[in-house]
């Protein structure tokens, strides 16, 4: 299914349809503030495994992360965050960043890396955050399989390419080309693992 959602004022009926799909273990393609992502409910292990099969990777190596509604989710899914680190996160979020943080026991085992960390995002995208707000907890975030090509910015092309593999494509308009900036906050100072859309000063520290 391809569902059109207004980027500034997401229609409640459309959001409910998306959330119901997630609750039933469905997989969606949805917009963020960077590139379109493929995702599911983080508490649906079979859906996570489906995404890993689509990406042809094992979960531990899939570079999966959470899309959160706001910083309040961080306290639940990460271990104790220091005040300086919280300030650092708050100054960059919502925004085009993925922060690598120590995972708490609330994170499903299938999503934890071997280092017991998790990537967390709070995108500056009203559709993604409204979906999460309605769902009541984060959704999985992963990049679409293959190379970043023009087809990955056009929801209708994504629907044509992936409709047999996913349950729903959320059309929130043309997406971006550049992924998020990944910052590892388990080190001091934090280390940029991937330079993406988000600006980052190498001198920034916790």
Answer whether residue 112 shows pLDDT above 80: no
pLDDT given for residue 206 in this prediction: 66
In the structure, what pLDDT confidence band is assigned to residue 205 with cuts at 50, 70 and 90? low
Mean of the per-residue pLDDT values for the chain? 91
pTM assigned to the model: 0.93
* CA gap 183, 39 in Å, rounded: 21
CA distances from 67 to 119, 149, 189, 200 (A): 9, 23, 24, 20
Single out the residue of 100, 97, 113 nearest to residue 57, CA to CA.
113
In the structure, what pLDDT confidence band is assigned to residue 111 with cuts at 50, 70 and 90? confident
Sheet architecture: strand order including 28-30: 2-4, 168-171, 28-30, 37-39, 139-143, 65-67, 117-121, 97-102, 181-184, 191-194
* CA gap 67, 42 in Å, rounded: 10
Domains and CATH numbers, the chain: 2-194 (3.90.870.10)
Q: What is the mean pLDDT of residues 96-117?
A: 88
């Amino acid at each position: 299914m391809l569902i059109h959602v207004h980027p500034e004022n997401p229609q409640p009926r459309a959001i409910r349809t998306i959330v119901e799909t997630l609750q039933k273990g469905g997989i969606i393609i949805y917009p963020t503030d960077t590139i379109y992502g493929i995702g599911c409910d983080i508490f649906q292990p079979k859906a996570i495994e489906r995404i890993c099969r689509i990406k042809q990777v094992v979960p531990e190596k899939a570079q999966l992360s959470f899309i959160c509604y706001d910083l309040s989710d961080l306290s639940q899914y990460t271990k104790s965050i220091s005040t300086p680190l919280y300030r650092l996160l708050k100054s960059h979020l919502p925004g085009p960043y993925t922060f690598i943080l120590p995972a708490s026991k609330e994170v499903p085992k299938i999503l934890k890396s071997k280092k017991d960390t998790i990537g967390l995002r709070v995108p500056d995208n009203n559709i993604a955050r409204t979906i999460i707000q309605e769902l009541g907890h984060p959704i999985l975030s992963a990049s679409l399989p293959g190379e970043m090509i023009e087809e990955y910015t056009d929801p209708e092309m994504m629907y044509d390419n992936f409709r047999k593999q996913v349950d729903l494509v959320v059309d929130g308009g043309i997406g971006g080309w550049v992924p998020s900036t990944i910052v590892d906050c388990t080190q001091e100072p934090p280390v940029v693992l991937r330079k993406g859309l988000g600006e980052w000063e190498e001198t920034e520290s916790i």
